[in-house]
Amino acid sequence: MTALVLALSLVFTTPLSTAPAKGSSAPGDARPTLVFPQFAAGQPLHLVAYGDTRFTDSAVTGVTNPRVRKWLAERIGQQHPQAILLTGDTPFHGADAADWQVFQRETESWRRERAVQLPTVGNHEVLGGAPPGIANYLENFPDISGHRYYSALLGSLEVISLDFTVPSGASSLQGRWFVSQLDHVPAQVEFLMVLYHLPWMADRQSQIIAGLPTQEAVALRSMLEARLPKIHAKVIVFNGHIHNYERFERMGVEYVITGGGGAKPYPVLYRGRGDLYQDTGFPVYHYLLLDIAAHRLQAVMWKVKDPEAATLEVEVKDEFTITAAPAGPVHAVPQPRPRGHNRPD
């Protein structure tokens, strides 16, 4: 337990920026930041969600499992996803261009599949220095067009990605933008997915040891919950940071912690009754397949059976289904600029 306390406490040693996030959406902008016109409303979608990979030199094995990490990245490409949602801590050192080069090599299959990559900023994105880390992050994810926080419209799905390294309170630029987005979810959206690196809900162990969820995470959750009666879409929040898998339901919102992409795993020694995932197996290297069709979201968590096996395999360890009410009529969205993106004001 002592080693676990130290490991979890170290993740908060990176200072957070208090400067406005350059390249982010204007606080009052209610439009989707990014529009991907190749996805039509009502069209089936096939996605992946996972995170906490820590791409770095394969010789580094103490903080990440390079064999499992690379295998999972390739396995994800083999699923032919149309989009990949990343919950943060994609590189080990965000300020180190070499770590991002490893990311590019090990995820080449994603680009061959032309999967849209929708990330969120984690603490390792700014490890080694926030300015170079964020610059590397934006350069390596061209689909988000220079936005540190953004919304993306993919047919009947909208994804809102928030940056935990800049202020997100109710009076902050990001907080006001988030509220505006929640107040104006497009009518065609049946499922709204929120990405934020730090958990908005967590097992009792993380509450005691690491102080999770943080005050800002709880504040964001409260902003969301205050607007749920007026949000017609079903909401799923994806977080990372805990190198394991947890799932909760609160006020009709599904909260999923998916941090098993390759980083050194954290054991969850006690899962409270609120955690809908009660399996005691460890480690929990995994990814989620998300399929949206006919107003339903089917989510399947695929876990690596044995990370030490000669041949790696995955098995289904969790599943859940969410049914949405049929969306309203499709209203015109702002005419997308080149590559289908709307620039902020």
Domain locations in the chain?
Answer: 2-12+25-340
- 21 pLDDT above the threshold of 80: no
pLDDT greater than 70 at residue 71: yes
Is there a contact between 158 and 183 (Cβ–Cβ < 8 Å)?
Answer: no
Q: For residue 175, give the nearest of 114, 227, 236, 252 by alpha carbon.
A: 227
Residue-level pLDDT at 327: 84
Q: What is the pLDDT of residue 24?
A: 67
Q: What's the average model confidence in pLDDT over 281-309?
A: 98
Q: Give, for 289, the enclosing helix (H) or strand (E).
A: strand 286-293
Report pLDDT for 18: 32
Average pLDDT of the residues of the chain: 91
Q: pTM for this structure?
A: 0.90
Q: How confident is the model at residue 343 (pLDDT cuts 50, 70, 90)?
A: very low
Name the pairing type of β-strands 116-119 and 83-86. Answer: parallel
Give the whole-angstrom CA distance, residue 317 versus residue 195. 22
Whose tokens are 């690596």? That residue is 304
Is residue 23 pLDDT above 80, yes or no? no
Among residues of the chain, what percentage have pLDDT more than 70? Answer: 88
Q: Give the mean model confidence (pLDDT) for residues 200-215.
A: 94
Mean pLDDT of the 271-284 span: 96
What is 2-12+25-340's CATH topology?
Answer: Purple Acid Phosphatase; chain A, domain 2 (3.60.21)
Where b means 16+ CB within 10 Å and e means fewer, 200-227 reads bbbbebbeebbebbbebbebbbebbeeb
**pLDDT confidence of residue 1:** 42
Kindly write down the DSSP assignment for every residue of 252-264, as one continuous string. TEEEEEE--SSBP
Phi, psi torsion values for 131, nearest 5 degrees:
-60, -50
Give the mean model confidence (pLDDT) for residues 61-82.
Answer: 98
pLDDT at 26: 73
Q: Is 262 or 6 the better-scoring residue by pLDDT?
A: 262
For residue 20, is pLDDT > 90? no
Residue 268 has pLDDT above 70, yes or no: yes
CA distance 304 to 319: 15
- Is residue 73 pLDDT above 50, yes or no? yes
What number is the average pLDDT over the span 99-104? 98
Unique residue bearing structure tokens 């676990």: 4
Name the amino acid, one letter, at 313.
Answer: E
What number is the average pLDDT over the span 110-115? 98
319 beta partners: 300
Residue matched to tokens 């061209």: 142
Predicted confidence band at 331 (pLDDT cuts at 50, 70, 90)? low
What digits encode the pLDDT tens for the residues 241-254?
Answer: 999 999 999 999 99
State residue 63's pLDDT score: 97
pLDDT for the residue 340: 45
